Structure 1
Amino acid sequence: MRFHIILEANNSPARIAELATLAESFDMTGIWVSNMHDARDPFITFTEAARVTRKIRLGPVAVSPYELHPLKMATSLLTLNEIAGGRAQIGVSAGDGGTAMAMGFKARRRVRAVRECVDIIEAAANSEPIRYEGEIYKALYYHASWVTQPAPRVYVCAGGPQMLASSAKYAQGIFLGDHLPEQVAAASETIKSAQAGINTPKDFRLLNFWAWHVKESQDDARAEARIWLAVRATPWPGFYHRDILPDEDMQVVWDNLPAINQAFFNKNPHIKNIPQDILDRLVDQCSSTSSSDNLDHEIERIRRFAAAGLTDIALRIYENPEKSIRLIGERIMPALNPPG
């Protein structure tokens, strides 16, 4: 299992560099920042880390062609890739939340939009003149003659069956979000079916964004998880996540989504009108909320992820990121990837 870390998007470039250096010392595969509409630029924020690290991959997730034209996305990514010596990475998404929502854009033809976006990025990375005329996007008279480094790694952020089946046929890898092991297994089967009989990259990767809230006490871990519950996919009925809790319990959650949003915006772990037992079971299912002296549960969960077909796990960490990186590097990674 390869380990990645996802950092708070508002960190300064210097702070990102410090944390990337620490993660690299544990031989982690990648560092990401979540692409947020009101955060620092997710490409520029990596420039200092790109200079001071040597192996770890760097880049934003998830960037949408609805917010940034694929031609300009390619330029930003390839510029970072030059600074990083060929270590840049990106997760491309067709969601209409976050930045696209703040800009007033609506997603249309998502599957096609992502395909054309990846096509343009990969063509631009070859440093040859391109003339791309897609059904949605165009990239004309574009020649990144300054490109000298190996191409960046491009992942497609997918969850629904259509996006999974489509991107499995052309992407270097797929980035899932908040999927439980059972849901990873189902996604993996969809991907395998789509790839049957076609040539796919030898190093095809399947990642999953997973919230890591482990603290010294489980109460503290659950409290932090409740604050961030609004940005998990799991509470929202429109996403492809079911069978997390019994339907009657999930209905209580769905009936009180405004309270979940309010907890997020106020950074307050107290969510009104939802019984504590339901909240505890929900955050335990959809994120890592163990205490630091009870890591066996989290290690076993990651083993289940691997058995389900996951090749990489991207752990979103929150308060005290150094402590989380050290805990993952010193106690989780050796248990999953023993030396020798």
Structure 2
Amino acid sequence: MSDHGSTDVTWGIELTPEHPPDRMAELAALAEREGFDVAFSSSHYFNRDPFVTLSRMAEATDDLRLGPGVVNPYEAHPVKLAAQTATIDEVSDGRAVFGVGAGDRSTLSNLGIEHERPLRRVLETFNVARDLWAGETVTHEGTFTARDASLNLEPESAIPVYVGAQGPHMLRMSAKHGDGVLINAAHPDDLEWAAGQLEQGLEDRPEGYGPFEALAFASVSVADEEADAREAARPPVAFIVGGAADPVLARHDIDREAAAAVSDALEGGNLTEAFGHVTPEMIDAFCIAGTTETVAERFAAALEHVDGIVVGSPLGPDLEGAVTRASEALAMATAE
């Protein structure tokens, strides 16, 4: 899985298509050169399309595994997502992974989409996708409907499913049914708690299923200067706080009113105000931010609980520099 020396720890990176696809393709090529194994293109309606971006990333790379990270089965029909992911698998010669989750409540509410029965919806989505990828014609009646649906293309091998998860039920479901999990957390306390949930799910995992991989999908901001890294962390941390459940806020002693101020500003579309409400405590809890050395120490602490790390948005104030620094930090964290 990994080709960066002494470790089988998976190195992942999230490349957010807030820049043109050509730039994202260049960053993917850089990530591959720096030893990353897998790159996820995140999916938000206000950014470029993740699948268009992934196709450009596929052209620019040779071995990097690629997938949406994560798409949700509300904005697009699950059968459509299966077809789009199979297309990426085809153009990348079999390198696709399928990162799927329930989506951000705040962005779905912008589109007037109800966030109904997320656990069932995600599970049904990837079960149907697996059947479609296996060449089956599918009729499904559940949280969504598909009648006599089939795809006109078939992946050469099974596409691994990584479930984006944060809450206890989604974590346990991912371990029972998925190929991997993208744990939406950066702090060792959250990852340790999540590992306990995953263990429960793995106890119920059917025999004959393949290995399961737990990855921390962690907000990371790395730069030469600690202050620059922390400042760049404000936007992603605001979105994390806006979607954080009360038990998560309590685990880090985050003031409820401070969190509500962030959340209310986001829902009102006042992004600058929301970012301004982010406190140092929020950055510590929800982002791995700092110099290469600081970030390496935090990676090592996270890796006590997971099989790998996805270096998530914002990466840092300078994207190219951050890809290189994150690779250096991972190398330091995994050196034997």
Deviation at 1:289, TM superposition (A): 2.0
Matched, 1:335 2:336: no
Q: 1:28-107 to 2 correspondence within 5 Å?
A: 28-95=36-103, 97-107=105-115
SS in 2 for 1:67: coil
Task: Give the Å deviation of 1:258.
Answer: 5.7
Asked if structure 2 preserves the Cα contact closer than 8 Å seen for 1:51 and 1:84, the reply is yes
- Structure 2 vs 1, CA of residues 302 and 61 (structure 1 numbering), >3 Å: closer, same or farther? same
1:111 aligns with 2:109: no
Q: Partner of 1:319 in structure 2?
A: 317
How high is the TM-score relative to the length of structure 2?
A: 0.87
Contact 1:32–1:58 (CA under 8 A) maintained in structure 2: yes
Aligned partners of 1:50 and 1:83 also within 8 Å? yes
Conservation of the 8 A alpha-carbon contact between 2:85 and 2:96: yes
Q: 1:123 offset after TM fit, Å?
A: 1.0
Identity %: 24
- Aligned-partner Cα distance in 2 for 1:183–1:56: 28
Read off the aligned partner of 1:290 and give its amino acid letter: G
CA separation of 1:201 and 1:311: change in aligned 2, threshold 3 A: farther
> Is 1:257 matched up with 2:262?
yes
Counterpart residue number, 1:138: 145
Superimposed CA distance per residue, residues 164-214 of structure 1 (whole angstroms, 9 cap, x where no aligned partner): 222321111111112421221221112212221532644311122212222
**Superposed, which structure 2 residues align to 1:234-253 within 5 Å?**
234=241, 236=243, 238=245, 240-246=247-253, 250-253=255-258
Which 10-residue stretch deviates more, 111-120 or 179-188?
179-188
1:18 aligns with 2:16: no
Structure-1 residue corresponding to 2:227? 219
Distance 2:77 2:276 in 1: 39
Contact (CA 8 Å) 2:300, 2:334: kept in 1 or not?
Answer: no
Question: Does residue 165 of the first structure (1) align with residue 163 of the second (2)?
Answer: no
Deviation at 1:72, TM superposition (A): 0.5
Task: State the TM-score, normalized to the length of structure 1.
Answer: 0.86
Equivalent residues of 1:8, 1:318 under 8 A apart = no
Q: Hey, what's the Cα distance between the residues in 2 that align with 1:166 and 1:268? A: 32
Is the 2:217–2:312 Cα contact (8 Å) retained in structure 1?
yes
Equivalent of 2:154 in 147, 151, 165: 147
Computing the radius of gyration from Cα coordinates, the structure with the larger value is 1
Q: Post-superposition shift, 1:255?
A: 4.8
Q: Does structure 1 retain, via aligned residues, the 8 Å contact 2:265–2:274?
A: no
Bigger mean CA deviation after superposition, 315-324 or 136-145: 136-145
1:323 CA displacement:
0.3
CA drift of 1:88 comes to 1.4
Would you say how many aligned residue pairs link Structure 1 and Structure 2?
325
- Unmatched tracts of structure 2, length 5 or more: 1-8
Residue range with higher mean Cα deviation, 149-158 or 16-25? 149-158
Matched, 1:9 2:7: no
- Cα RMSD, aligned residues only: 2.6
